[in-house]
Amino acid sequence: MPTQLTYPGVYIEEIPSGVRTITGVATSITAFIGRARKGPVNEPKTINNYGDFERIFGGIWKESMLGFAVRDFFLNGGSQAIIVRLFHPNDADLKAAQSAAQDVAKATKNVAPNATAAEAAQEALDEAKLDTNAKEPRKAVADFVAAAAKAASLGPNATAADVQDAAEKAAASAAPNSKATFTVRGLSLVATHEGSWGENLRVSVDNNVSEDVAKSMGLTKDKLFNITIKDAIPGGIAEMFRNLTLDDKPRRVDRVLKAESKLVCWNESVDINPAIIVGPPGDDPIIDAEKTLDLKKKDVVEKENALAEAEKAVPQVPNDIEKAKKDLEEAKKDQKGAKDALDKLIAERKSSDGSALNALDFIGDETFNLKQGLYALRKADLFNLLCIPPYSSDGKVETSLIDSAIAYCQDHRAMFLIDPPATWIDKDKALAGIESDVGSVSKNAAIFFPRLCQANPFNGNQVENFVPCGAVAGIFARTDTQRGVWKAPAGLEATLVGVLKLSVPLTDNENGELNPLGINCLRAMPAIGRVVWGSRTREGDDRLASEWKYIPVRRTALFIEESLYRGTKWIVFEPNDEPLWAQIRLNIGAFMHNLFRQGAFQGSTPREAYFVKCDKETTTQNDINLGIVNIVVGFAPLKPAEFVVIKLQQMAGQIET
């Protein structure tokens, strides 16, 4: 009602309709966790096609199954994925870094009993500056622990004990620097992410800047410079940053690179100092060395041709041949020198791709609180399917990790797609291992067997076994788009694209042994190809008689739960009485009726298909007093026709009587 009626006339009011449309959430956003060649670590990144994965994470990589699973996901119909890259430092680097961290932490105790915090911190700084800590992987870790000690010493009423505690905590969490670091034209830079990909970065510096721009920034022209950065691999991206400076201005080089560059940032172990001389302008020394090597190679070719011409001459001139040979030897010597110089420059940027992951990288101490490993997905808004391709040489995922992943999926209304262990080389191994090899039984998990046979481009396209989780997740996404989440992602429509054959061919009888145990089989069908031929959850074992036996039933429930969870938050703090209950019934009922019209439920009428109950029966006066409103939503799920029985009989001839 208008706040005040003052003059005679007509007043207009807008009355809320009470309609708050509930939108269904996505059903096939798939999260992948594992090793990749490059990209941000412990940060979930959403990608919409395989090109995004190649650009951000480097594409398929011989050291990890993650890239192959993501490729299969998009190849089989996937549309959106979340990638979490994990990185495990090289064991030798990790050992050296831990040794350096402990040495610096111990140095804080090399003081008199009555020493001050500043004195203890100085001991750490002195230790970090020793020659033994001058290079990676010790340098960055030593500097990190010394910086922690220094920071602790600056606290109010800080004591030497405080500094020692801070140094020990820093040493416990210190990890080696696995990023490519390099200095170009006086600029100390480091690759944005871990891995040897940073060795391919090339940096050029120029001083093509405007006098007017320099004046507008309160600087002289000689204080500004431009940087061009390029990833030298085929198709690599390039970046250019103009009007940078080392002075404390908005365009200071470290600030600009941190905010805008996807390739490099300033090396934080080197202090920004306006006195640093940037230049002389020019290309990256590696670029110069590569150009020099190319010229030397051309020179060798020219000298080889000259020698061949001298040897073909009629008549031959011995002096010419001898001179051509000497020229060729000299050219080859120059080429080798150029190659050695280039190799030396590249070696200075040497970085590590790390080593194989283990379960602790996913679910180790503090990973939940730090939102790392598996729990990096806490930073993501929504995911529906989870894939963790095997990451160890034995082709397995530890059962402890499987159980943690299942628990996390249950908390976040998602499903975990489990890959068969590499040891499941036949039907009997699968029967023997289903209770011990693949974690606990859960309604939010499903396993698919056997593995896929595909060409490996890193081994001359030799056909090898790959895990099916990515391809199956793609089938889920494709089925959701074409038919709906309530349709089983299996059958003749669920063809596996890009799969040459299956590692274990299964017969109907063998399938009949595995299916009742909740093992979903992948089969080869004549004229169709490879298909998904099972749609049971891990609770799909017939002996459990679970109501969540089938994947489409469980996923439909998860879809409804997540949609209602997100679509009913407007209810919070509303007056808890019949008008609110009526609105709840109206809005949830409209959402459920829309699903009914799409064919998501059993029944020919809405009454047979679903119900929404929210009234005095569900919410008592005591509930109201406690601030609770109870809503009961029921639905009749569609269950797949898993067994088709055709009964045939002969018609007996009619006998006239």
Residue 576 CA to residue 624 CA, distance in Å, equals 7
pLDDT at 13 over 90: no
pLDDT at 141 over 90: no
Residue 296 CA to residue 49 CA, distance in Å, equals 42
Give the pLDDT mean for 434-463: 95
Name the H helices within 313-380.
318-348, 359-363, 367-370
pTM here is: 0.86
pLDDT reported for residue 415: 97
How does residue 641 score in pLDDT terms, banded at 50, 70 and 90? confident
Give the pLDDT mean for 480-498: 96
Residues in the chain: 657
pLDDT at 480 over 60: yes
Strand order in the sheet with 501-502: 462-466, 452-456, 501-502
pLDDT reported for residue 392: 87
3-state secondary structure 509-548: HHHHHHHHHCEEEEEEECCCEEEECCCECCCCCHHHCCCC
On average, the pLDDT of the chain sits at: 91
Element (H, E) at 447: strand 445-449
pLDDT reported for residue 3: 67
Tokens 């996937």 belong to 78
pLDDT at 592 over 70: yes
pLDDT at 654 over 70: no
Q: Which CATH fold topology does 381-553 show?
A: Rossmann fold (3.40.50)
Tell me the chain's radius of gyration from C-alpha atoms.
33
pLDDT at 174 over 80: no
pLDDT reported for residue 112: 80
Q: What is the DSSP letter of 64?
A: B
> 3-12, 488-497, 514-523, 599-608: lowest mean pLDDT where?
3-12
| pLDDT digits 0-9 by tens, 149-172 | 888 888 888 888 888 898 888 888
pLDDT reported for residue 1: 54
pLDDT reported for residue 414: 97
Give the pLDDT mean for 507-525: 96
pLDDT reported for residue 2: 58
pLDDT reported for residue 315: 83
CA distances from 141 to 92, 103, 422, 498 (A): 14, 10, 38, 45
| pLDDT digits 0-9 by tens, 409-442 | 999 999 999 999 999 999 999 999 999 999 999 9
How does residue 114 score in pLDDT terms, banded at 50, 70 and 90? confident
| pLDDT digits 0-9 by tens, 181-202 | 888 888 888 899 999 899 889 9
pLDDT at 215 over 80: yes
Q: Residue 428 CA to chain centroid, in angstroms?
A: 34
Q: Write down the domain spans for the chain.
A: 1-22+575-657, 91-173, 181-266, 285-348, 381-553
Tokens 């004046």 belong to 215
Greater pLDDT, 283 or 24: 24
pLDDT reported for residue 655: 61
Per-residue tokens: 483: 């038919």
Question: Is the separation of the CB atoms in 451 and 503 below 8 Å?
Answer: yes
Give the pLDDT mean for 363-369: 92
pLDDT reported for residue 552: 96
Cβ-proximal residues to 657 (8 Å cutoff; 6+ apart), any chain: none
CA-nearest of 96, 99, 261, 275 to 190 is: 261
pLDDT at 518 over 80: yes
| pLDDT digits 0-9 by tens, 277-328 | 777 887 888 888 888 999 999 999 998 998 888 888 878 888 888 888 898 9
pLDDT reported for residue 367: 93
| pLDDT digits 0-9 by tens, 25-55 | 999 999 999 999 999 999 999 999 999 999 9
pLDDT at 62 over 60: yes
Per-residue tokens: 408: 């996390």
Range 221-225 contact pairs with CB under 8 angstroms and sequence separation of 24 or more: 223/247, 223/274, 225/278, 225/279, 225/281
> 276-280, 472-476, 612-616: lowest mean pLDDT where?
276-280
CA-nearest of 177, 176, 175, 179 to 196 is: 179
pLDDT reported for residue 656: 65
pLDDT at 120 over 60: yes
Give the pLDDT mean for 347-356: 82
pLDDT at 349 over 80: no
pLDDT at 571 over 70: yes
